[in-house]
Structure 1
Amino acid sequence: MKLVVFFFSLCFSFLQAQESKTLYFDFAKEVPNAISLKNFDEWIVSNQNIEILQIAGYCDSVDTNLSNKKLASKRIQSVLTLLKSKNSRISNSLIQEVFGEDFKQSKIQAENRKVTFLYKIVDEPIIETELLIEEKPKEESLVEKIEKERISLIDKFENAKIGDRIVINNIHFQFNSENIIPESEPLLEQLLFIMELNPDLEIKIFGHICCNPDPKDTKLSYRRALKIFNYLRDNGIQLRRLAYKGFGSNEPVYPIPEKNEEEKIANRRVEIEIVKK
């Protein structure tokens, strides 16, 4: 009997350690509404040391269940992006649940358009510096570099002034093509998310290439800048907020011909100029 009581007490303590937070969305929108974002910004200040354990996305009863599930999934990703931008920890065993409209709905439709996540408070690890052994830094993979840059983009845009250029290094294209490799797609999604979060933001997209000594050959850089322009336009960003230009190899970070692959990567870049905030 004592063992059973202890077991249930342990389960109850575990459940108590978890808390939940909900963000709400406007009709058919993939990002939280302004009230929820303001509430989240205030909440996260006193909830820095958290780990996200489970997250669920929901929609109202308008449209088909399949379409709503797709929208609910996008809402989950936007909230995860928001959490990562605040350095919240995401559990390696994170549970994601997409409900669309197939759940017990509130009569108030606005209450159904939401994302709810479960989290727990975690303690910062205590590091004994005397016991640390210096190790050779592990070289980051392309996916790791892209994820790190993706997380940092929100702060870069928040801190940028009109006229500033924000360099996005890891939007990589297939050889001699404007097609973006799949690994770089999270950076495009993050750029779209930033544009949606900041409805007054207007930008110019600049394409640059490496290795080509002919300054007049700008066609490829134009096509690459246009690819990003079209992606944002096709996903609902108004044309008045967008412009693009290809510079070819006219504005290299390093002189051409480059000395190594690092210099080629630095020259082969995408820049976003802030026109209006």
Structure 2
Amino acid sequence: MKIKIIVLFFLISFKSFGQKQIEVFFDFNKDFPNQTSILEINEWIAKNKNVEITKLLGYCDSIDTKDYNKKLAVKRIENVQILLDKSGLKFNKELEKTAFGKDFKQSKIQAENRKVTIFYNEPLILPAESELTKKIKSSKVGEIITLPNIYFFNNSARIVPKSQPTLIDLRCAMEENPKLKIEIQGHICCQMNGDINNVSTARARAIYNYLIRSKIDRKRMTFKGYGTSKPIHPIPEKTEQEENENRRVEILIVEK
């Protein structure tokens, strides 16, 4: 039962002020982690080579004197630090180390009190740049870029929810390039008599309004509907794909 308790509590991880933690356990009156914890921490280290150790807290059970327990807690911290250091893990320049004798809220299960708690930060992993973001970043003034996967409900300016990833990419590009100014251009398909209901303008405005709600300065954007005046394929289109390619929203790079 004792081993099960140790295994259960060893790798409990949770976020606390942006940090995570793991717990290493010790046998009675020992200052080096027990065999179960050694196996567990070696497995953890193998999967977490890039973490940064920020804090080490050492604890003891309630047996023996306060001073003795505090010294034992210090030794436990030192040995855990040596183990982590030999494994090549990085330590924060302001590494905090604190030993507790009996001055902490103890568990009724003594095995749970004989431990060192390791606090660590995981490396920040930035999301991969989208193709749209790359195109906008490398674009030149005067270039026109089609916004991929922008969809609207039939004959309306209501944006379909699955368009959200593209909208987020566009917003991020505007945030990351504060000098960027654009014209949002709406186009429709299929209508031989032009944009009777001005749907293309309404759709371009919908993208504009999304960016306004996302705190993008309105001075950096304009919008315009072109109806069917600039089709990619002749109207009437021959296939559904041609219709989809004519029915589009683009951005014109006005200033960078």
Runs of 4+ in 1 over 4 A off after TM superposition: none
Q: Deviations over 1:89-143 (max 9, x none)?
A: xxxxxxxxxxxxxxxxxxxxxxxxxxxxxxxxxxxxxxxxxxxxxxxxxxxxxxx
Identity of aligned residues (%): 38
Q: 2:188 corresponds to which residue? A: 209
Write the distance in 2 (CA, Å) between the matches of 1:265 and 1:216.
16
**2:45 alignment partner, SS class:** helix
Structure 1 spans left out of the alignment, 5+ residues: 21-78, 86-150
Contact in 2 for aligned 1:211/1:264 (Cα 8 Å): yes
Structure 2 counterpart of 1:245, one-letter code: K
Q: 2:173 and 2:37 mapped to 1: Cα distance?
A: 50
Which residue identity is paired with 2:226?
F
Q: Distance in 2 between matches of 1:197 and 1:220?
A: 30
Whether 1:242 aligns to 2:254 is no
* Structure 2 residue matching 1:271: 3-state secondary structure: strand
Q: Which residue of 2 aligns with 1:4?
A: 36
Does structure 1 conserve the Cα–Cα contact (< 8 Å) formed by 2:137 and 2:173? no
Question: Helix, strand or coil: the match of 2:184?
Answer: strand
Hey, what's the Cα distance between the residues in 2 that align with 1:16 and 1:205? 45
**Which residue of 2 is the match for residue 224 of structure 1?**
203
CA separation of 1:163/1:208 partners in 2, compared to 1, >3 Å: closer, same or farther? Answer: same
Deviations 1:207-265 (A, max 9, x none): 00111111353600000001111111122111210101001111110011111111111
| Larger Rg over CA atoms | 2
Alignment of 1:1-277 (within 5 A): 4=36, 7-8=39-40, 10-19=42-51, 82-85=126-129, 151-215=130-194, 217=196, 219-277=198-256
Q: Give the distance between the partners of 1:182 and 1:157, measured in 2 at CA.
A: 23
| Distance (Å, rounded) in 1 between the aligned partners of 2:197 and 2:250 | 15
The 1:271/1:12 distance shift into structure 2, 3 A limit, reads closer
**Change in CA separation of 1:12 and 1:173 when aligned onto 2, cut-off 3 Å:** closer
TM-score (norm 1): 0.51
Contact 2:183-2:222 within 8 A present in 1 as well: yes
1:6 is displaced (CA, Å) by 5.8
Q: TM-score scaled by structure 2?
A: 0.55
Alignment length (residue pairs): 153
Structure with the bigger percentage of helix: 1
Going from structure 1 to structure 2, the CA distance change for 1:14 and 1:254 (only over 3 Å counts) comes to same
1:236 aligned counterpart, secondary structure: coil
Closer/same/farther in 2, CA of residues 231 and 9 from structure 1, 3 Å limit = closer
Amino acid at match of 2:170: L
SS at match of 1:166: strand
The Cα shift of 1:13 comes to: 2.9
Check 1:267–1:169 CA distance in 2 against 1; reply closer, same or farther (3 A cut).
farther
More off after superposition, 254-263 vs 209-218:
209-218
